[in-house]
Structure 1
């Protein structure tokens, strides 16, 4: 039985299906937990703790998953797994002093949660929107029907076009903040410290960059979606929560 089928059964209240689904994705959760624990080893965070948060992420994803969208469950759940793990990292009392590798100067590191403006995008913050887009982009498993391959390639092409519109400074900030190149998510305060910016300046820079990406993405995706046959429009690659 596929993960998607198990998820549907779990949504109907089948606890055995839920347990089987968790067993199926257990190794994947451990992989993410181990990677993040290694990235934050200086803060004393254990992989076991992150694994438990990853399980919570899967349990969060189960009732929200819509198999009719043509997305694999593990692709969908990846966002929630990583989101819960990162939330744990941010809210854990792990404010330790570490050395800046570039200057050897000691400074306190404090994790903070998202506090981004919504800009009238249906109540979803810019950071949350682009975070979902980037994690879906980095997920390993997709539904590889010809239609979905087309959508996937077009979507990533549009994201690349959008990031190309950013200034070099904006791109460096967004890339570091959301771990585009190294898969390590960082808080805004941590990113501001890395680039020697005030938190206020970092928030402004981030807001401007994400708005550029989102505006371009939405306008171009709407254009492409106009060419999709009516019965395929429900397979759009945007995951809506």
Structure 2
């Protein structure tokens, strides 16, 4: 078979040409792997216990591409890969969401909705360690005494407010906004870290933020 573009291969594949279908996968494997890497790192899957590897996402991406073949219409003057891209991404994210739901079903404590046995971040910071962490931000080489004082007082107020909300809300916010590792995490990444459904993580975050604001001066 002569080298053909995606649109020509898709037309042949729609007629039952398996070689054309396989060539579509080969031609677009680089794009699929690019999406795999983006999703794998943005959702912090390497740090999760979902058991999803890059190869799993790649396989789902290939399935998503194949599923797009029967519905592609060359008459619409759109590139096949542009048309197939949402199907490829959706197949990967659906795999992740299904794994999250299954994992949460196994691991989440029904009473409070948080899988304490799987939390890997710091416990709620006790008083002395909390003060050390507040003071650790004070770098006299780059900040004025006034800046250091304001930041310390702000953090004292923030940690005091955190101490008055529930342990699980505090633990969630400490991780979500980078108090434990100086890196703000996405909501879906935080959901994966805590083995929660995205919808439950969103509900927990909204509730925690509401309660936190009520406790701030």
Q: Could you state the TM-score of these two structures normalised by the residue count of structure 1? A: 0.45
Cα separation, 2, equivalents of 1:197 and 1:52: 37
Determine if the alignment matches structure 1 residue 6 to structure 2 residue 9.
yes
CA RMSD of aligned residues (A): 2.7
Q: What is aligned with 2:79?
A: 72
Tell me the alpha carbon deviations over residues 197-224 of structure 1, each in whole angstroms, 9 at most, x when there is no partner: 79xxxxxxxxxxxxxxxxxxxxxxxxxx
Tell me the alpha carbon deviations over residues 173-212 of structure 1, each in whole angstroms, 9 at most, x when there is no partner: xxxxxxxxxxxxxx333333344479xxxxxxxxxxxxxx
Larger RCO (CA within 8 A; separation ≥ 6): 2
Contact 1:54–1:84 at 8 Å: present in 2 too? yes
- What SS does structure 2 have at the residue aligned with 1:109? coil
Cα separation, 1, equivalents of 2:73 and 2:200: 35
> Which residue, 94, 103, 119 being the options, matches 1:97?
119
Unaligned runs of 5+ in 1: 112-186, 199-241
Unaligned runs of 5+ in 2: 105-117, 122-171, 181-189, 210-217
Cα separation, 2, equivalents of 1:51 and 1:13: 23
Aligned-pair CA distance for 1:36: 1.4
Cα separation, 2, equivalents of 1:84 and 1:51: 10
Q: What is aligned with 1:35?
A: 38
Contact 1:29–1:51 at 8 Å: present in 2 too? yes
- CA pair 7-98 structure 1, distance change in 2 beyond 3 A: farther
- What SS does structure 2 have at the residue aligned with 1:13? coil
Cα separation, 2, equivalents of 1:98 and 1:12: 52
> Which residue, 72, 82, 93 being the options, matches 2:89?
82
Cα separation, 1, equivalents of 2:82 and 2:205: 31
Cα separation, 2, equivalents of 1:188 and 1:70: 37
Contact 1:98–1:109 at 8 Å: present in 2 too? no
Superposition pairs of residues 1-241 of structure 1, within 5 angstroms:
1-38=4-41, 39=43, 40-43=45-48, 44-92=51-99, 93-95=102-104, 97=119, 99=121, 100=172, 101=175, 102=177, 108-111=194-197, 187-196=198-207
Cα separation, 2, equivalents of 1:74 and 1:108: 35
- CA pair 73-196 structure 1, distance change in 2 beyond 3 A: farther
